[in-house]
Structure 1
Amino acid sequence: MEMRGLMGGFYKISEWIMRLSVTNVLWVVCSLPFLYLLIVPLLVYNKAEELDQLLVSLTIAGAAAPFFFFPATSAMFTTVRKWVMGEVDAPLLKTFFRGYKENYVKSMLGGLLYTLIFIIIIVDYRVYLSGIEGLQLLSYIFLGLGLLLAVSLFNFFSLIVHYHKSTLQLVKDAILITIGRPFRSLSTVLVSVAILFISTRFTFLFPFFTGSLIAYMAFFNFYQVYLKMKEMMERQEQEQLEQLEQQEREMAEQEPKQ
Protein backbone atom coordinates (compact mmCIF):
# COMPACT_ATOMS: atom_id res chain seq x y z
CA MET A 1 0.00 0.00 0.00
CA GLU A 2 1.35 3.40 -1.00
CA MET A 3 1.83 5.77 1.91
CA ARG A 4 0.42 9.26 1.56
CA GLY A 5 0.61 12.49 3.43
CA LEU A 6 3.57 13.44 5.60
CA MET A 7 4.78 9.88 6.10
CA GLY A 8 4.59 9.24 2.38
CA GLY A 9 6.71 12.32 1.74
CA PHE A 10 9.32 11.20 4.26
CA TYR A 11 9.36 7.73 2.71
CA LYS A 12 9.98 9.11 -0.80
CA ILE A 13 12.73 11.40 0.49
CA SER A 14 14.41 8.49 2.26
CA GLU A 15 14.21 6.42 -0.92
CA TRP A 16 15.94 9.15 -2.93
CA ILE A 17 18.60 9.56 -0.25
CA MET A 18 19.25 5.82 -0.43
CA ARG A 19 19.40 5.78 -4.25
CA LEU A 20 21.77 8.73 -4.46
CA SER A 21 24.03 7.60 -1.63
CA VAL A 22 24.35 3.96 -2.74
CA THR A 23 25.08 4.97 -6.33
CA ASN A 24 27.62 7.56 -5.20
CA VAL A 25 29.39 5.07 -2.90
CA LEU A 26 29.60 2.53 -5.74
CA TRP A 27 31.07 5.22 -8.00
CA VAL A 28 33.64 6.23 -5.36
CA VAL A 29 34.70 2.61 -4.76
CA CYS A 30 35.11 1.87 -8.48
CA SER A 31 36.96 5.19 -9.03
CA LEU A 32 39.07 4.91 -5.88
CA PRO A 33 42.54 4.51 -7.49
CA PHE A 34 41.97 7.59 -9.66
CA LEU A 35 40.46 9.63 -6.81
CA TYR A 36 43.38 8.73 -4.56
CA LEU A 37 45.93 9.78 -7.18
CA LEU A 38 44.00 13.00 -7.76
CA ILE A 39 43.14 14.13 -4.23
CA VAL A 40 46.29 13.20 -2.28
CA PRO A 41 48.67 15.34 -4.39
CA LEU A 42 46.30 18.30 -4.09
CA LEU A 43 46.49 17.97 -0.31
CA VAL A 44 50.23 17.32 -0.13
CA TYR A 45 51.67 19.67 -2.78
CA ASN A 46 50.10 22.98 -1.81
CA LYS A 47 53.10 25.28 -2.13
CA ALA A 48 54.24 27.25 -5.18
CA GLU A 49 57.67 25.56 -5.25
CA GLU A 50 55.97 22.15 -5.39
CA LEU A 51 54.11 22.89 -8.62
CA ASP A 52 56.27 20.52 -10.71
CA GLN A 53 55.61 17.60 -8.33
CA LEU A 54 51.90 18.41 -8.41
CA LEU A 55 51.82 18.40 -12.22
CA VAL A 56 53.61 15.04 -12.34
CA SER A 57 51.15 13.54 -9.84
CA LEU A 58 48.15 14.93 -11.71
CA THR A 59 49.55 13.50 -14.95
CA ILE A 60 49.69 10.05 -13.32
CA ALA A 61 46.10 10.53 -12.13
CA GLY A 62 45.08 11.48 -15.67
CA ALA A 63 46.69 8.30 -17.00
CA ALA A 64 44.63 6.25 -14.53
CA ALA A 65 41.35 8.02 -15.34
CA PRO A 66 40.41 6.01 -18.47
CA PHE A 67 40.67 2.71 -16.57
CA PHE A 68 38.84 3.70 -13.38
CA PHE A 69 37.05 7.05 -13.50
CA PHE A 70 35.48 6.76 -16.96
CA PRO A 71 33.98 3.24 -16.56
CA ALA A 72 32.73 4.03 -13.05
CA THR A 73 31.15 7.30 -14.19
CA SER A 74 29.47 5.65 -17.16
CA ALA A 75 28.01 3.07 -14.75
CA MET A 76 26.71 5.88 -12.54
CA PHE A 77 25.13 7.58 -15.57
CA THR A 78 23.54 4.25 -16.52
CA THR A 79 21.82 4.25 -13.12
CA VAL A 80 20.65 7.87 -13.11
CA ARG A 81 19.40 7.45 -16.69
CA LYS A 82 16.85 4.95 -15.35
CA TRP A 83 15.63 7.51 -12.81
CA VAL A 84 15.32 10.36 -15.30
CA MET A 85 13.37 8.13 -17.67
CA GLY A 86 10.94 7.11 -14.91
CA GLU A 87 12.38 3.75 -13.83
CA VAL A 88 13.07 4.85 -10.26
CA ASP A 89 12.64 1.33 -8.88
CA ALA A 90 15.40 -0.20 -11.01
CA PRO A 91 17.72 -2.39 -8.87
CA LEU A 92 20.77 -0.26 -7.98
CA LEU A 93 23.54 -2.85 -7.79
CA LYS A 94 22.41 -4.77 -10.87
CA THR A 95 21.94 -1.63 -12.96
CA PHE A 96 25.25 -0.08 -11.89
CA PHE A 97 27.44 -3.12 -12.50
CA ARG A 98 25.66 -4.04 -15.72
CA GLY A 99 26.38 -0.53 -16.98
CA TYR A 100 29.98 -0.86 -15.77
CA LYS A 101 30.46 -4.12 -17.64
CA GLU A 102 28.64 -3.19 -20.85
CA ASN A 103 30.29 0.20 -21.26
CA TYR A 104 33.76 -0.53 -19.87
CA VAL A 105 35.63 -0.86 -23.16
CA LYS A 106 33.86 2.04 -24.87
CA SER A 107 34.24 4.34 -21.86
CA MET A 108 37.90 3.35 -21.47
CA LEU A 109 38.60 4.15 -25.13
CA GLY A 110 36.73 7.42 -24.75
CA GLY A 111 38.81 8.18 -21.66
CA LEU A 112 42.04 7.50 -23.54
CA LEU A 113 40.92 9.79 -26.36
CA TYR A 114 39.88 12.56 -23.98
CA THR A 115 43.14 12.22 -22.03
CA LEU A 116 45.19 12.46 -25.21
CA ILE A 117 43.34 15.58 -26.36
CA PHE A 118 43.67 17.16 -22.91
CA ILE A 119 47.44 16.51 -22.93
CA ILE A 120 47.81 18.12 -26.35
CA ILE A 121 45.78 21.14 -25.27
CA ILE A 122 47.70 21.56 -21.98
CA VAL A 123 51.09 21.27 -23.71
CA ASP A 124 50.08 23.80 -26.38
CA TYR A 125 48.69 26.13 -23.70
CA ARG A 126 51.92 26.13 -21.71
CA VAL A 127 54.09 26.47 -24.83
CA TYR A 128 52.21 29.47 -26.19
CA LEU A 129 51.83 31.04 -22.74
CA SER A 130 55.50 31.10 -21.84
CA GLY A 131 57.58 29.80 -24.71
CA ILE A 132 56.74 31.71 -27.88
CA GLU A 133 57.10 35.48 -27.90
CA GLY A 134 54.12 37.40 -29.25
CA LEU A 135 51.79 34.37 -29.42
CA GLN A 136 50.56 34.37 -25.84
CA LEU A 137 47.05 35.17 -27.08
CA LEU A 138 46.84 31.69 -28.60
CA SER A 139 47.22 30.21 -25.12
CA TYR A 140 43.78 31.58 -24.22
CA ILE A 141 42.31 29.86 -27.27
CA PHE A 142 43.68 26.53 -26.04
CA LEU A 143 42.40 27.33 -22.56
CA GLY A 144 38.93 27.83 -24.03
CA LEU A 145 39.20 24.55 -25.96
CA GLY A 146 40.16 22.78 -22.75
CA LEU A 147 37.13 24.16 -20.94
CA LEU A 148 34.88 23.18 -23.85
CA LEU A 149 36.29 19.66 -23.80
CA ALA A 150 35.79 19.41 -20.04
CA VAL A 151 32.15 20.51 -20.29
CA SER A 152 31.53 18.04 -23.14
CA LEU A 153 32.33 15.20 -20.72
CA PHE A 154 28.83 15.60 -19.23
CA ASN A 155 27.29 14.94 -22.65
CA PHE A 156 29.79 12.17 -23.43
CA PHE A 157 28.74 10.13 -20.40
CA SER A 158 25.07 10.79 -21.18
CA LEU A 159 25.53 9.73 -24.80
CA ILE A 160 27.48 6.58 -24.00
CA VAL A 161 24.62 5.18 -21.88
CA HIS A 162 21.86 6.32 -24.25
CA TYR A 163 23.17 5.46 -27.73
CA HIS A 164 25.01 2.62 -29.41
CA LYS A 165 27.66 4.44 -31.42
CA SER A 166 31.40 4.26 -31.96
CA THR A 167 33.62 5.95 -29.39
CA LEU A 168 34.86 8.56 -31.85
CA GLN A 169 31.31 9.43 -32.87
CA LEU A 170 30.27 9.75 -29.23
CA VAL A 171 33.08 12.23 -28.57
CA LYS A 172 32.17 14.22 -31.69
CA ASP A 173 28.48 14.30 -30.76
CA ALA A 174 29.30 15.32 -27.18
CA ILE A 175 31.30 18.31 -28.40
CA LEU A 176 28.66 19.27 -30.98
CA ILE A 177 25.84 19.15 -28.41
CA THR A 178 27.93 21.23 -26.00
CA ILE A 179 28.45 23.88 -28.68
CA GLY A 180 24.94 23.63 -30.14
CA ARG A 181 23.14 23.86 -26.79
CA PRO A 182 25.21 26.44 -24.89
CA PHE A 183 22.51 27.37 -22.36
CA ARG A 184 21.92 23.76 -21.33
CA SER A 185 25.68 23.23 -21.13
CA LEU A 186 26.12 26.39 -19.07
CA SER A 187 23.33 25.42 -16.68
CA THR A 188 24.94 22.00 -16.20
CA VAL A 189 28.27 23.63 -15.36
CA LEU A 190 26.74 26.17 -12.99
CA VAL A 191 24.73 23.59 -11.06
CA SER A 192 27.76 21.28 -10.89
CA VAL A 193 29.93 24.11 -9.55
CA ALA A 194 27.25 24.93 -6.98
CA ILE A 195 27.09 21.29 -5.83
CA LEU A 196 30.88 21.12 -5.59
CA PHE A 197 31.00 24.39 -3.66
CA ILE A 198 28.40 23.18 -1.17
CA SER A 199 30.30 19.89 -0.88
CA THR A 200 33.44 21.77 0.17
CA ARG A 201 31.46 23.21 3.08
CA PHE A 202 29.79 19.90 3.96
CA THR A 203 32.45 17.33 3.15
CA PHE A 204 30.24 14.33 3.96
CA LEU A 205 28.48 15.02 0.64
CA PHE A 206 31.53 13.93 -1.38
CA PRO A 207 31.39 10.19 -0.60
CA PHE A 208 27.60 9.98 -0.53
CA PHE A 209 25.92 12.51 -2.82
CA THR A 210 28.16 14.81 -4.88
CA GLY A 211 28.82 12.57 -7.88
CA SER A 212 25.33 11.11 -8.17
CA LEU A 213 23.68 14.55 -7.83
CA ILE A 214 25.85 15.99 -10.60
CA ALA A 215 25.25 12.94 -12.81
CA TYR A 216 21.48 13.13 -12.31
CA MET A 217 21.39 16.83 -13.16
CA ALA A 218 23.69 16.36 -16.17
CA PHE A 219 21.65 13.53 -17.68
CA PHE A 220 18.41 15.40 -16.96
CA ASN A 221 19.68 18.35 -19.03
CA PHE A 222 20.91 16.03 -21.77
CA TYR A 223 17.58 14.20 -21.87
CA GLN A 224 15.72 17.48 -22.35
CA VAL A 225 17.98 18.19 -25.35
CA TYR A 226 17.33 14.68 -26.65
CA LEU A 227 13.54 15.11 -26.38
CA LYS A 228 13.70 18.46 -28.19
CA MET A 229 15.80 16.97 -30.99
CA LYS A 230 13.47 13.97 -31.24
CA GLU A 231 10.44 16.25 -31.42
CA MET A 232 12.12 18.35 -34.11
CA MET A 233 12.97 15.27 -36.18
CA GLU A 234 9.42 13.92 -35.86
CA ARG A 235 8.04 17.30 -36.94
CA GLN A 236 10.34 17.35 -39.97
CA GLU A 237 9.33 13.81 -40.89
CA GLN A 238 5.66 14.76 -40.55
CA GLU A 239 6.15 17.82 -42.76
CA GLN A 240 7.95 15.73 -45.38
CA LEU A 241 5.13 13.16 -45.28
CA GLU A 242 2.51 15.88 -45.68
CA GLN A 243 4.43 17.35 -48.64
CA LEU A 244 4.64 13.92 -50.24
CA GLU A 245 0.91 13.36 -49.75
CA GLN A 246 0.20 16.81 -51.20
CA GLN A 247 2.29 16.01 -54.28
CA GLU A 248 0.48 12.70 -54.72
CA ARG A 249 -2.91 14.46 -54.50
CA GLU A 250 -1.84 17.05 -57.06
CA MET A 251 -0.64 14.32 -59.43
CA ALA A 252 -3.90 12.41 -58.96
CA GLU A 253 -5.93 15.55 -59.77
CA GLN A 254 -3.91 16.18 -62.93
CA GLU A 255 -4.18 12.66 -64.35
CA PRO A 256 -7.79 12.91 -65.66
CA LYS A 257 -6.94 16.10 -67.52
CA GLN A 258 -4.16 14.53 -69.51
Structure 2
Amino acid sequence: MQGNGLMSGFYKISGWISRFAYLNMLWIISSLLGLIIFGLFPATVSTFAVLREWIKEKDQVSVFHSFFTHYKKEFIKSNLLGIILSIIGFILYVDLKFIFHNHNGGWLIISSITVLVCIMFILMVLYVFPVYVTYQLSVFKIIQNSFLYMFVNPRVTIMMVAASITFYCAGLYFPGTTLIFGVSLYSFCIMWYSNRAFIGVQQKKDSLLGR
Protein backbone atom coordinates (compact mmCIF):
# COMPACT_ATOMS: atom_id res chain seq x y z
CA MET A 1 0.00 0.00 0.00
CA GLN A 2 2.82 2.36 0.89
CA GLY A 3 4.53 1.61 -2.42
CA ASN A 4 1.33 2.30 -4.32
CA GLY A 5 1.00 5.62 -2.50
CA LEU A 6 4.56 6.61 -3.40
CA MET A 7 4.03 5.67 -7.03
CA SER A 8 0.77 7.60 -7.11
CA GLY A 9 2.52 10.65 -5.68
CA PHE A 10 5.37 10.26 -8.17
CA TYR A 11 2.99 10.11 -11.14
CA LYS A 12 1.07 13.10 -9.84
CA ILE A 13 4.24 15.19 -9.48
CA SER A 14 5.47 14.03 -12.90
CA GLY A 15 2.13 15.00 -14.40
CA TRP A 16 2.32 18.53 -13.01
CA ILE A 17 5.93 18.92 -14.14
CA SER A 18 4.83 17.92 -17.65
CA ARG A 19 1.96 20.42 -17.52
CA PHE A 20 4.22 23.28 -16.51
CA ALA A 21 6.77 22.33 -19.18
CA TYR A 22 4.04 22.17 -21.84
CA LEU A 23 2.58 25.52 -20.80
CA ASN A 24 6.06 27.03 -20.80
CA MET A 25 6.60 25.73 -24.34
CA LEU A 26 3.31 27.31 -25.46
CA TRP A 27 4.42 30.62 -23.92
CA ILE A 28 7.71 30.54 -25.82
CA ILE A 29 6.12 29.54 -29.14
CA SER A 30 3.30 32.09 -28.92
CA SER A 31 5.75 34.84 -27.97
CA LEU A 32 7.74 34.03 -31.09
CA LEU A 33 4.55 33.96 -33.18
CA GLY A 34 4.03 37.60 -32.28
CA LEU A 35 7.67 38.34 -33.10
CA ILE A 36 8.28 38.66 -29.33
CA ILE A 37 7.36 42.38 -29.29
CA PHE A 38 3.68 41.74 -30.03
CA GLY A 39 3.57 38.18 -28.73
CA LEU A 40 4.97 38.56 -25.22
CA PHE A 41 1.97 40.14 -23.51
CA PRO A 42 -0.75 38.00 -25.17
CA ALA A 43 1.31 34.90 -24.38
CA THR A 44 1.72 35.95 -20.74
CA VAL A 45 -1.98 36.77 -20.35
CA SER A 46 -2.87 33.38 -21.86
CA THR A 47 -0.47 31.64 -19.47
CA PHE A 48 -2.05 33.32 -16.45
CA ALA A 49 -5.53 32.52 -17.76
CA VAL A 50 -4.69 28.80 -17.95
CA LEU A 51 -3.05 28.89 -14.52
CA ARG A 52 -6.17 30.51 -13.06
CA GLU A 53 -8.22 27.63 -14.42
CA TRP A 54 -5.84 25.19 -12.75
CA ILE A 55 -6.08 27.03 -9.43
CA LYS A 56 -9.87 26.99 -9.75
CA GLU A 57 -9.51 23.20 -10.19
CA LYS A 58 -10.53 23.30 -13.83
CA ASP A 59 -7.45 21.30 -14.75
CA GLN A 60 -9.35 19.00 -17.11
CA VAL A 61 -9.72 21.67 -19.80
CA SER A 62 -7.60 21.50 -22.93
CA VAL A 63 -4.49 23.58 -22.26
CA PHE A 64 -3.82 24.15 -25.95
CA HIS A 65 -7.39 25.22 -26.72
CA SER A 66 -7.72 27.43 -23.65
CA PHE A 67 -4.33 29.04 -24.22
CA PHE A 68 -4.84 30.02 -27.84
CA THR A 69 -8.47 31.03 -27.28
CA HIS A 70 -7.24 33.66 -24.81
CA TYR A 71 -4.27 34.48 -27.04
CA LYS A 72 -6.51 35.45 -29.96
CA LYS A 73 -9.19 37.07 -27.83
CA GLU A 74 -6.80 39.23 -25.77
CA PHE A 75 -4.19 39.98 -28.45
CA ILE A 76 -5.05 43.65 -29.00
CA LYS A 77 -6.03 44.53 -25.42
CA SER A 78 -2.98 42.83 -23.87
CA ASN A 79 -0.65 44.57 -26.32
CA LEU A 80 -2.25 47.91 -25.49
CA LEU A 81 -1.57 47.21 -21.83
CA GLY A 82 1.96 46.16 -22.71
CA ILE A 83 2.62 49.36 -24.64
CA ILE A 84 1.42 51.51 -21.73
CA LEU A 85 3.49 49.60 -19.17
CA SER A 86 6.54 49.65 -21.45
CA ILE A 87 6.28 53.42 -21.93
CA ILE A 88 5.96 54.00 -18.18
CA GLY A 89 8.85 51.63 -17.48
CA PHE A 90 11.04 53.29 -20.13
CA ILE A 91 10.35 56.79 -18.73
CA LEU A 92 11.23 55.64 -15.20
CA TYR A 93 14.39 53.95 -16.49
CA VAL A 94 15.51 57.12 -18.30
CA ASP A 95 14.74 59.19 -15.19
CA LEU A 96 16.83 56.85 -13.03
CA LYS A 97 19.79 56.97 -15.42
CA PHE A 98 19.62 60.77 -15.57
CA ILE A 99 19.42 61.11 -11.79
CA PHE A 100 22.29 58.69 -11.11
CA HIS A 101 24.46 60.69 -13.51
CA ASN A 102 23.56 63.90 -11.65
CA HIS A 103 23.73 62.67 -8.07
CA ASN A 104 24.52 65.96 -6.32
CA GLY A 105 22.77 67.11 -3.17
CA GLY A 106 20.05 69.01 -4.97
CA TRP A 107 18.81 65.83 -6.60
CA LEU A 108 18.57 63.82 -3.37
CA ILE A 109 14.84 64.33 -2.82
CA ILE A 110 13.98 63.86 -6.49
CA SER A 111 16.09 60.70 -6.74
CA SER A 112 14.49 59.26 -3.60
CA ILE A 113 11.01 59.89 -4.97
CA THR A 114 11.92 58.42 -8.36
CA VAL A 115 13.37 55.25 -6.80
CA LEU A 116 10.23 54.90 -4.68
CA VAL A 117 8.01 55.29 -7.75
CA CYS A 118 10.07 52.66 -9.60
CA ILE A 119 9.67 50.21 -6.74
CA MET A 120 5.93 50.84 -6.60
CA PHE A 121 5.69 50.35 -10.36
CA ILE A 122 7.48 46.99 -10.20
CA LEU A 123 5.27 45.82 -7.33
CA MET A 124 2.17 46.95 -9.21
CA VAL A 125 3.22 44.98 -12.30
CA LEU A 126 3.24 41.79 -10.20
CA TYR A 127 -0.55 42.10 -9.91
CA VAL A 128 -1.27 43.21 -13.48
CA PHE A 129 -1.69 39.82 -15.15
CA PRO A 130 -3.62 38.17 -12.29
CA VAL A 131 -6.00 41.15 -12.21
CA TYR A 132 -6.29 41.03 -16.01
CA VAL A 133 -7.44 37.39 -16.13
CA THR A 134 -9.61 37.56 -12.99
CA TYR A 135 -11.70 40.63 -13.68
CA GLN A 136 -13.31 42.02 -16.82
CA LEU A 137 -11.79 45.49 -16.71
CA SER A 138 -10.51 48.15 -19.06
CA VAL A 139 -6.75 48.60 -19.42
CA PHE A 140 -6.82 51.69 -17.18
CA LYS A 141 -8.83 49.86 -14.51
CA ILE A 142 -6.44 46.91 -14.62
CA ILE A 143 -3.52 49.22 -13.81
CA GLN A 144 -5.53 51.09 -11.18
CA ASN A 145 -6.72 47.93 -9.42
CA SER A 146 -3.25 46.38 -9.54
CA PHE A 147 -1.90 49.48 -7.85
CA LEU A 148 -4.57 49.27 -5.13
CA TYR A 149 -4.01 45.56 -4.48
CA MET A 150 -0.33 46.28 -3.95
CA PHE A 151 -1.24 48.41 -0.91
CA VAL A 152 -4.22 46.43 0.35
CA ASN A 153 -2.24 43.19 0.61
CA PRO A 154 1.26 44.01 1.89
CA ARG A 155 1.85 40.47 3.22
CA VAL A 156 0.93 38.91 -0.13
CA THR A 157 3.04 41.50 -1.96
CA ILE A 158 6.06 40.61 0.20
CA MET A 159 5.54 36.91 -0.57
CA MET A 160 5.39 37.68 -4.28
CA VAL A 161 8.62 39.65 -4.06
CA ALA A 162 10.24 36.76 -2.17
CA ALA A 163 9.08 34.35 -4.89
CA SER A 164 10.49 36.66 -7.58
CA ILE A 165 13.89 36.82 -5.87
CA THR A 166 13.91 33.05 -5.35
CA PHE A 167 13.13 32.34 -9.01
CA TYR A 168 15.70 34.90 -10.14
CA CYS A 169 18.43 33.27 -8.04
CA ALA A 170 17.35 29.79 -9.18
CA GLY A 171 17.56 30.97 -12.79
CA LEU A 172 21.14 32.10 -12.25
CA TYR A 173 22.23 28.74 -10.85
CA PHE A 174 19.96 26.52 -12.96
CA PRO A 175 19.33 28.40 -16.24
CA GLY A 176 18.06 25.25 -17.94
CA THR A 177 15.06 25.03 -15.64
CA THR A 178 13.96 28.53 -16.69
CA LEU A 179 13.81 27.41 -20.30
CA ILE A 180 11.89 24.25 -19.43
CA PHE A 181 9.25 25.55 -17.01
CA GLY A 182 10.58 28.70 -15.33
CA VAL A 183 8.02 31.16 -16.70
CA SER A 184 4.98 28.95 -16.14
CA LEU A 185 6.03 27.91 -12.61
CA TYR A 186 6.88 31.46 -11.59
CA SER A 187 3.59 32.71 -13.04
CA PHE A 188 1.76 30.02 -11.09
CA CYS A 189 3.27 31.33 -7.83
CA ILE A 190 2.27 34.91 -8.66
CA MET A 191 -1.23 33.82 -9.70
CA TRP A 192 -1.68 31.68 -6.59
CA TYR A 193 -0.64 34.48 -4.21
CA SER A 194 -2.76 37.00 -6.10
CA ASN A 195 -5.77 34.71 -5.94
CA ARG A 196 -5.40 34.52 -2.16
CA ALA A 197 -5.35 38.32 -2.08
CA PHE A 198 -8.48 38.54 -4.24
CA ILE A 199 -10.31 36.08 -2.00
CA GLY A 200 -9.25 38.03 1.09
CA VAL A 201 -10.52 41.33 -0.31
CA GLN A 202 -13.81 39.72 -1.35
CA GLN A 203 -14.27 38.26 2.13
CA LYS A 204 -13.70 41.69 3.67
CA LYS A 205 -16.26 43.20 1.31
CA ASP A 206 -18.79 40.50 2.19
CA SER A 207 -18.13 41.06 5.88
CA LEU A 208 -18.72 44.81 5.59
CA LEU A 209 -21.93 44.21 3.64
CA GLY A 210 -23.08 41.68 6.22
CA ARG A 211 -23.19 38.74 3.82
Question: Is TM-score (shorter-chain normalized) higher than 0.5?
Answer: yes
Does residue 27 (structure 1) correspond to residue 27 (structure 2)? The answer is yes
Alpha-carbon distance in 2 for matches of 1:179, 1:232: 15
What letter is aligned with 1:26? L
Cross-structure match for 1:139: 111
Deviations along 1:28-48, one digit per CA (max 9) or x if unpaired, are 2222444xxxxxxxxxxxxxx
Q: Secondary structure of 1:153's partner?
A: helix
C-alpha distance in 2 between matches for 1:22 and 1:144: 37
Contact 1:188 1:217 in 2 (8 A): yes
Q: Kindly report which structure 2 residues correspond to 1:144-223, keeping only aligned pairs within 5 A, or say none.
A: 144-223=116-195
Q: Offset of 1:9 from its aligned partner?
A: 0.9
Work out the CA distance in 1 between the residues paired with 2:152 and 2:42. 26
What number of residue pairs does the alignment pair up? Answer: 205
Structure 2: how far apart are the matches of 1:210 and 1:196? 10
Mind listing any 5+ residue stretches in structure 1 that lack a counterpart? 35-63, 240-258
**Quick one: which of 54, 75, 80 aligns to 1:109?**
80
Q: Which residue of 2 aligns with 1:250?
A: none
Q: Which has the larger radius of gyration?
A: 1
Pairing 1:52-71 to 2, within 5 Å after superposition: 64=37, 67-71=38-42
Cα contact 1:23–1:92 (8 A) shared by 2: yes
Letter of the 1:30 counterpart: S
Structure 1 SS opposite 2:209? helix
Task: Give the structure, 1 or 2, with the largest relative contact order (CA under 8 Å, sep 6 or more).
Answer: 2
Shift of 1:132: 7.5
For residues 115-172 of structure 1, the C-alpha deviation after alignment (integer angstroms, 9 at most, x for no partner) is 1111221222233333485114422321221222122222110011111110001011
**3-state SS in 1 of match to 2:58:** coil
Match of 1:6 in 2: 6
1:255 maps to none
CA RMSD, 1 decimal = 1.7
Distance in structure 1 (CA, Å) of the matches to 2:157 and 2:208: 25
Structure 1, 105-114 or 127-136: larger mean CA deviation: 127-136
AA of the residue aligned to 2:144: K
Show the counterpart of 2:58.
87
Aligned to 2:197: 225
Percent of counterpart pairs with the same letter? 25
Bigger mean CA offset, 190-199 vs 166-175:
190-199
Q: Distance in 1 between matches of 2:176 and 2:97?
A: 36
- Secondary structure of 1:204 counterpart: helix
Structure 1 CA distance, aligned partners of 2:151 and 2:204?
18
Tell me, yes or no, if the aligned pair for 1:71 and 1:100 is still in contact at 8 Å: yes
Q: Which of 35, 45, 65 in structure 2 is aligned with 1:74?
A: 45
More moved, 85-94 vs 155-164: 85-94
Q: Helix, strand or coil: the match of 1:232?
A: helix
CA distance in 2, matches of 1:179, 1:113: 21
Q: Deviations over 1:203-256 (max 9, x none)?
A: 2211111111111110111111111111111122227xxxxxxxxxxxxxxxxx
Q: Distance in 2 between matches of 1:234 and 1:15?
A: 37
Distance 1:80 1:126 in 2: 36
Is the deviation greater in 20-29 or in 82-91?
A: 82-91
Q: 2 CA distance for matches of 1:147 and 1:19?
A: 33
| TM-score normalised to structure 2 length | 0.90
Q: Distance in 2 between matches of 1:68 and 1:154?
A: 19
Q: Using the alignment, how far apart are the partners of 2:14 and 2:103 within structure 1?
A: 57
TM-score w.r.t. length of structure 1: 0.74
Q: Is the 1:155–1:222 Cα contact (8 Å) retained in structure 2?
A: yes
Matched residue SS, 1:86:
coil
